[in-house]
Amino acid sequence: MKAYHIIYNSINTFNFLHKIILAFFFLIFLSACGYKDNPSYISYDQNKSVKSIKKYENLNRW
């Protein structure tokens, strides 16, 4: 009876770990398949109104 519990617990732990791995895989997959657009940078005034919106290609990065 003790061997049955050891085998059952190891299989149960194995299944639990695989569920965790699959959950993280689906989380990464779903977050990577979201809306993709060129990034834009918004600057705000002191009163939180939009001052300007710059596209990523128009920024002087270097």
Number of domain units in the chain = 1
Q: Which domain holds residue 49?
A: 2-58
Q: What pLDDT is stored for residue 60 in this prediction?
A: 60
Average pLDDT along the chain, 62 residues, taken 10 residues at a time: 65 84 89 70 75 65 56
pTM of the model: 0.43
Q: Distances from the Cα of 23 to the Cαs of 12, 28, 29, 30, in angstroms?
A: 17, 9, 10, 11
Cβ atoms 53, 40 nearer than 8 A: yes
Q: What pLDDT is stored for residue 22 in this prediction?
A: 92
